[in-house]
Amino acid sequence: MKRFTPILHHSIIIFLVIFSNIVFAQNDDSIKTSNPFVKGGAYDKPFVTNVFSKTAIGGYVETVFKIERADGITEEITFEARRFNLFAHSIISQRTRFFTEIEFEHGTEEINIEFAALDFDITSFATFRGGIILSPLGKFNLTHDAPLNELTDRPIVSTEIIPTALSEAGMGFYGSLFPSANSRLTYELYAVNGFNDGIITNGSGTQIREGRGDVGEDNNQLPSFVGRMGYSPLENVELGLSAHSGIYNTFNVDGLEIDDKRNLTIAAFDWEYNTEEFDFIGEYARSTIEIQKSLQGLFAERQQGMYAQCNYRFGKKYFSFLPLSYFTAVARYEFVDFDTELKGDALQNITFGINFRPTSDTVFKLDYHYQWNWNRVDVVGNAAGINFGVASYF
């Protein structure tokens, strides 16, 4: 929780309308003020500290050195300017605020508006949100910033089954309730444009990440729905259930029906338990994709994956000239099955890492991963790699 102490004062200001009149547990001020809606989410950034002006600007940067080998062949030895993201946050009025994030990947190879949403507080437990949102599908999609995460690479289930960063144009509501003095229930529910035909027209089988929709307009004029519910029986524990469902293909052109409607549903379960020294986090996701009969057997109709990660913090007193510094040892196991109907077409990965933080917002990461990759005919290949990365909020 020490990472969040510098923004405690501003958290009170931003969330005053949301938390001041909660109908449950009205006497438990510690829950209402010290715990952000989503730890590491849109409004839990270190730059959001200037409460005396209307707009604050910040961001983060990430650079990585990679060595990759697959089946005994060196594939990459390279530096990668992975991300440069800019944030802007504006308090427009007592009930209205705006947040945006613009991402520059690999220099300027990709430029995306990752988040650009207007929030309007209606009641203490309901806020309207509209714009380009980070879909609440699993927790990692909401908290994927490089300085926040302990390993260089994102979990595979969170990039392949849940295609992080999943940004969609949409509108909906979010809020918090307090069933008891020590517990909290959060929810997010939005109607969004959803995915498109790229899931199966990418030329490489079923790939959900290739079907991320256009934030400009829907390809089939039928909205999809995405939502997440998080339950914290205690402040240091959270369990989350989420789902995304809707028609992904173009089935009608100028009033002419050209295809049957085909649905994509992704369901996820995430968990997190924190102590002063340890974090235990993870996520499981499963997708069901309706495929036309002529492609069944060639394209996957069901996919699933999970990761489980343990972080151990130590060394807080090692350097007197860096009183806020500490180390973190990390271990992560992950598995993704790209076609649950086949014995092959799967991936398993183990990662070990250690990182150093001179402050909580800046991190130097060193990690090693070893991977087993089964193709669709169940032939296994091996790969390994070393990453050294640096990431920092500013």
CATH assignment of the domain containing 53: 2.40.160.10
Whether the per-residue pLDDT at 20 is higher than 90: the answer is no
How long, in residues, is the chain?
A: 394
Q: What DSSP letter does each residue of 69-134 carry, written as one string?
A: EETTEEEEEEEEEEEEEEEEEEE-SSSEEEEEEEEEETTTTEEEEEEEEEEEEEETTEEEEEEEEE
Higher per-residue confidence, 195 vs 14: 195
pLDDT, tens digit, 9 for 90 and up, residues 291-338: 999 899 899 999 999 999 999 999 998 999 999 999 999 999 999 999
In angstroms, rounded to a whole number, what is the distance separating the alpha carbons of residues 252 and 306?
A: 35
Q: What share of the chain is helix, strand, coil (3-state, %, to 5)?
A: 10, 55, 35
Which position has the higher pLDDT, 50 or 83? Answer: 83
**Domain count of the fold of the chain:** 1
* CA–CA dist 211, 225 (Å, integer): 16
pLDDT band (50, 70, 90) for residue 76: very high
pTM (predicted TM-score): 0.85
CA angle in degrees (0–180, nearest 5) for 221-208-238: 100
**pLDDT number for residue 14:** 41
pLDDT at position 17 is 37
Looking at the predicted structure, is the pLDDT value of residue 23 above 90?
no
Confirm if 156 and 334 have CB atoms less than 8 A apart.
yes
SS3 33: helix
Residues in CB range of 92: below 8 A, 6 or more apart? 54, 98
Give the distance from CA 359 to its chain's centroid.
Answer: 23
Measured at the CA of 157, the angle between CA 100 and CA 310, to 5 degrees, comes to: 90
| Residue 56 CA neighbour count, 13 Å, CB half | 19
> Could you tell me the pLDDT band of residue 50, with boundaries at 50, 70 and 90?
low
b/e 25-50 (16+ beta carbons within 10 angstroms → b): beebeebbeebbbbbbbbbbbbbbee
Please give the distance of CA 218 from its chain centroid, rounded to a whole number: 22
How far is residue 97 from each of residues 20, 118, 170, 219, 356, measured CA to CA in Å? 17, 6, 17, 30, 34
Asked if the model's pLDDT at residue 46 lies above 80, the reply is no
Residue 16: exposure state from Cβ atoms within 10 A (0-12, 13-18, ≥19): middle
- What 3-state class would DSSP assign to 169? strand
Give per-residue pLDDT as tens, 357-372.
999 999 999 999 999 9
* Structure confidence at residue 34 (pLDDT): 55
User: Which domain range does residue 100 map to?
Assistant: 2-393
Q: How confident is the model at residue 3 (pLDDT cuts 50, 70, 90)?
A: very low
Instruction: Please give the residue that has the higher pLDDT: either 40 or 353.
Output: 353
Q: Can you give the pLDDT at residue 38?
A: 85
Question: Cα–Cα distance between 31 and 25 in angstroms, integer?
Answer: 9
